[in-house]
Structure 1
Amino acid sequence: MNKTECIVVSGGFDPIHVGHLKMFKEASELAPKLIVIVNNDNFLIEKKGYV
């Protein structure tokens, strides 16, 4: 059986809020390592129109 070694999540997290923290906690329970990718300003500008 394969075992998951790490979980990866990504987002803008601008601003970070309790929903993000809940997602991190739940994701961290799925594997021994959690990698969080924080998207850059270009992502936020494209998504929201501003940083």
Structure 2
Amino acid sequence: MAVPYSNTKLRVPKGFQNILEGLARECLRSQPDDIFEFGAKYFEQLLQVRERK
């Protein structure tokens, strides 16, 4: 599926790169069989930590 060219500049939300780097690091460490399930659990744990603060 082709996407037409656009002048729109997309901005990455602040902190997004750090979150993705953390996920990538943990995936490389753990070598999960199901990356999607692993990612869901990883982000759920991040939410729990954030809610405790």
Q: Would you call these one fold, judging by a TM-score over 0.5? A: no
If each structure's helix is expressed as a fraction of its own residues, which one has the higher value? Answer: 2
Q: Calculate the TM-score normalised by the size of structure 2.
A: 0.29
Higher relative contact order (CA 8 A, sep 6+): 1
The structure that has the greater radius of gyration is 2
